[in-house]
Structures are given as structure tokens and as C-alpha cells.
């Protein structure tokens, strides 16, 4: 490893703790932000999904350039600047609300600016983790990070409904600003890497390095298949995300305070999946585990569109739980495999190229969910998304990864 073992372990713990704070705040805002639009400004299905898409569209615009930046500068510094910047931007919402100046337009600006900063911080964290962890321990490390993210999301979503009900959605976002700022302080204490590439670069070199990152991503059969499957899942998850709150509040008429609690089911499923992933991979192999999760998750997720007010909301909870559990396993195995097979000097650019594709589809999915929901009804749109979740399993069946016991190695027969 590029740093001493003790220092590496301390640095990873800092990232681990910072991830928890940052994710808890993000989870709270994921619920509070659309609720501000729906409750305070009576936004339509399309406007709500467009607000959620505003934060994600930065991946399409800046995602590839972020990879070049991350491969050339101090990743800890990028994490610090980007995370503290997001905290400041989020803090503007409760401040404006207290002054009576908050508008829907400001929410769109906050979403867009925080999205730009999130692109940089996400790519930087992707690239810095393999510098602190041995290759054989990547799945375990990513399981720890993912379980922390889902546990923090569980807490954030759990208190979101209560906070929104008690003090209002705009003021609830102040908790995100505090949590995100804490994460930024932790990132500020990370050590600088031993080797940092020169900061000066010509425009022609930027595009050459972007092409190199895209080539490394899509020429490799392993990374290419994982990216295509992940992009499809993210597209559908985004569409479902745009519809879930509307489905609960307007279709099922669930009280606002209970909305956050019901959304906990997906976080709980993600937590169980993250905690079980490393052990399950050791027992079954990454290939078999990945393929089974791609089918089992959507099968349970089919329960979601059949939910109704009353006891029927349990179907929403169970379906969301099972789907999120499986997707957590799929994401951790895919992420660890990509980190393992990617050359170290290309980690930033391959991470950016992968996220450009897999996260770049998120705003498309959000808008698609809003359009389908507005045109055909929320329940119909939720059902269509549930069926489409089986597409990534078809992608795996038609790929070379369908024959592998270990996704990170070629030439091995299926177990």
C-alpha cells in the first residue's frame, strides 16, 4: 500500500466515519427536499422529479472531467472542499426559510450546485479507497462502507418524517448541513498521497485522458458488463425514487410522518445486504452471488405496486426491503470487482467513466418516472418499473460474466 499500515487503517476509519455522517444527512434531504416541493409549493409529479434530477444531471455534464481532476490532485483536499461546500449550500435553505425568502427556484439552484460538488467528492472517494486498502480486502472494506451508508440512511430517513412534521422540511435540511460539514472536517485530516500528477494540463490532454478512461471502462468485458447492468438498475431505481413519495402520499394517502418510516424498509434491506455481502461472497463466490441477487431482488420487489392503505402498506415495505437487500449486494460486488481489475493510474478516470454512465442515467430515470406517472398514473408507473428491474439479470445472462465463479478473474468455469 502507498502508506503505512497503521496510517492506512486510521485514514480508512476517517473515511468510514465521514461516510456515515454524510450519508445520514443526504438521506434526510432525499426525503425533505421533495417534500418541500410537494407540501410547500404544491409541485406536480414532473416538477418534483425535475427537482430531484437537477442534482444528478451534473454527472452527464462534468462526470468525465472529474476523473481527470481526481487523478491529478490531492484527493483528500477535493473531498474536503467539495463536502464543506455542499454543507454551505444546504445551509442556505433553512436560512432562506427563516427569512421568508425560500422559493422553488432556490431549491433547483441548491440541487444543481450540490450536484456539481457531489460529482467531484464521489469520484475522489472511489479512487482513494483502493489506496488505503489491500486488493484482497476491497470487498470487506466496501461492505463496511456500504453497511455504514445504509445504516446512516436508515437513521436519516427514520427521523426525516418526524423532523419535517415537527419543524418543517426546510428547517429539517439544516441537519444535513451539520452532518455534511462534519464529514468535510474529517476529510480534511486525510494524508496526501505519495504521488500526485502535475496540475497543469492542456485542453487536448484533458480529452485524451477522458478517452483513455472511457476506453479502459468499455473495452474490458468485466467492467463493461458491470457498468451496463448498474446503469440499467440505477435508471429504474431513479424512476422508482421519483414515484415513491408521491405513491405513498397521494396514492396511498399515507401521513407525512409515516412516509419516512416506510422508506426505512429500503434502507434496512440495504443494511442487511451490505452486512451479509462479504460472508456470502466467500461462501458462494462473487459470480454466483451477483447473478442470484439480480433475479431475487426484482422478484420480491414485485410486491410494491400491489400496496394499499392500511395493512397493505406492508407490501410496499417488504418489496422495498427485498429489492434493496439484493441491490446492495449487487452494487458492492460490482464496485469491488471494478476496483480490483482497474489499473491504479486509471482509477479516477475509470470511476468517473463508470459513474458518468451509471449515475448519468439517474436524472433521465427521475424525469422518466415523473413523465410516466403523470401520463399513466403513479401505480401503473410503479408497476412498470418493478417489471423492468429484471432487465439487468438478462444483461448478465448474455454476458461473459454469466460463466464466471469469480467476476474479477477470467477463464474460470461457473461454480
Q: Where are the domains of the chain?
A: 5-403
Cα–Cα distances (Å) from 192 to 70, 128, 176, 213, 223, in that order, read 13, 10, 27, 23, 28
CB within 8 Å of 4: residues ≥ 6 apart: none
Q: Which three cell numbers stand for residue 407?
A: 467476476
- Please tell me the pTM assigned to this model: 0.69
Residue 91 has a CB neighbour count (10 Å cut-off) of 18
Count Cα neighbours of 64 within 13 Å in the Cβ-side half-sphere.
Answer: 15
Query: What end-to-end distance do the CA atoms of the chain give, in Å?
Result: 32
For 5-403, the fitting CATH number among 3.40.50.2000, 1.20.1250.20, 1.10.287.3510, 1.10.150.570 is 1.20.1250.20
Cα–Cα distances (Å) from 321 to 155, 158, 268, 269, in that order, read 15, 14, 6, 4
Spatial separation of the C-alpha atoms in residues 125 and 121, rounded to whole Å:
6
Decide: 316 and 266 in contact? Cβ < 8 Å: no
The per-residue pLDDT for 192 is: 61
Decide: 349 and 298 in contact? Cβ < 8 Å: no
The per-residue pLDDT for 128 is: 75
The per-residue pLDDT for 204 is: 65
- Each residue's pLDDT, cut to its tens digit, for the chain (415 residues) gives 343 454 457 777 888 888 888 888 887 887 788 878 877 787 777 787 788 778 778 877 787 887 777 777 777 788 899 999 999 999 999 999 888 888 889 999 999 999 899 888 888 887 777 776 776 667 777 778 877 877 777 777 667 767 777 777 777 888 889 989 999 998 888 766 545 555 566 666 777 888 888 888 888 888 899 999 999 999 999 898 888 888 888 888 887 667 767 777 777 888 888 888 888 888 888 889 999 999 999 999 999 999 887 777 889 989 999 999 999 899 888 888 887 787 777 777 887 788 888 877 888 888 888 889 888 988 999 999 999 999 999 998 888 888 888 887 754 433 3
Spatial separation of the C-alpha atoms in residues 242 and 238, rounded to whole Å:
6
Which of 157, 239, 210, 187 minimizes the C-alpha distance to 349? 210
Amino acid at each position: 500500500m502507498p502508506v503505512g499500515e497503521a496510517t492506512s487503517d486510521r485514514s480508512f476509519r476517517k473515511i468510514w466515519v465521514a461516510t456515515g455522517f454524510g450519508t445520514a444527512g443526504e438521506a434526510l434531504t432525499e426525503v425533505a427536499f421533495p417534500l418541500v416541493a410537494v407540501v410547500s409549493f404544491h409541485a406536480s409529479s414532473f416538477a418534483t422529479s425535475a427537482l430531484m434530477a437537477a442534482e444528478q444531471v451534473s454527472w452527464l455534464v462534468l462526470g468525465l472531467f472529474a476523473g481527470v481532476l481526481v487523478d491529478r490532485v490531492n484527493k483528500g483536499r477535493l473531498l474536503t472542499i467539495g463536502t464543506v461546500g455542499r454543507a454551505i449550500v444546504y445551509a442556505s435553505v433553512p436560512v432562506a426559510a427563516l427569512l421568508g425568502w425560500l422559493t422553488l427556484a432556490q431549491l433547483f439552484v441548491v440541487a444543481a450546485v450540490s450536484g456539481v460538488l457531489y460529482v467531484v467528492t464521489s469520484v475522489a472517494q472511489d479512487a482513494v479507497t483502493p489506496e488505503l486498502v489491500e486488493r484482497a480486502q476491497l470487498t470487506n472494506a466496501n461492505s463496511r462502507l456500504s453497511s455504514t451508508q445504509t445504516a446512516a440512511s436508515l437513521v436519516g430517513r427514520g427521523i426525516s418524517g418526524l423532523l419535517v412534521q415537527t419543524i418543517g422540511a426546510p428547517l429539517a435540511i439544516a441537519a444535513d448541513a451539520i452532518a455534511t460539514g462534519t464529514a468535510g472536517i474529517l476529510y480534511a485530516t486525510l494524508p496526501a498521497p505519495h504521488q500526485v500528477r502535475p496540475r497543469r494540463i492542456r485542453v487536448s490532454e484533458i480529452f485524451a485522458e477522458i478517452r483513455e478512461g472511457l476506453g479502459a471502462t468499455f473495452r474490458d468485458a468485466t467492467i463493461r458488463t458491470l457498468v451496463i447492468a448498474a446503469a440499467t438498475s440505477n435508471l429504474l431505481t431513479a424512476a422508482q425514487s421519483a414515484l415513491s413519495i408521491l405513491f405513498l402520499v397521494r396514492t396511498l394517502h399515507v401521513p407525512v410522518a409515516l412516509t419516512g418510516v416506510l422508506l426505512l424498509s429500503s434502507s434496512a434491506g440495504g443494511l442487511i445486504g451490505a452486512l451479509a455481502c462479504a460472508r456470502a461472497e466467500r461462501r458462494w463466490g462473487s459470480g454466483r452471488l451477483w447473478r442470484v441477487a439480480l433475479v431475487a431482488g426484482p422478484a420480491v420487489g414485485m410486491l410494491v405496486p400491489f400496496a394499499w392503505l392500511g395493512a397493505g402498506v406492508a407490501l410496499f415495505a417488504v418489496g422495498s426491503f427485498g429489492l434493496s437487500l439484493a441491490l446492495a449486494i449487487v452494487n458492492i460486488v460490482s464496485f469491488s470487482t471494478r476496483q480490483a481489475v482497474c489499473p491504479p493510474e486509471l482509477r479516477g478516470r475509470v470511476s468517473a467513466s463508470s459513474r458518468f454512465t451509471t449515475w448519468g442515467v439517474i436524472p433521465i430515470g427521475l424525469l422518466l418516472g415523473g413523465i410516466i406517472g403523470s401520463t399513466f398514473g403513479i401505480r401503473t408507473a410503479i408497476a412498470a418499473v418493478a417489471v423492468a428491474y429484471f432487465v439487468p439479470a438478462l444483461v448478465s445472462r448474455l454476458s461473459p460474466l454469466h460463466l464466471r465463479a469469480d467476476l474479477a478473474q477470467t477463464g474460470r468455469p461457473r461454480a
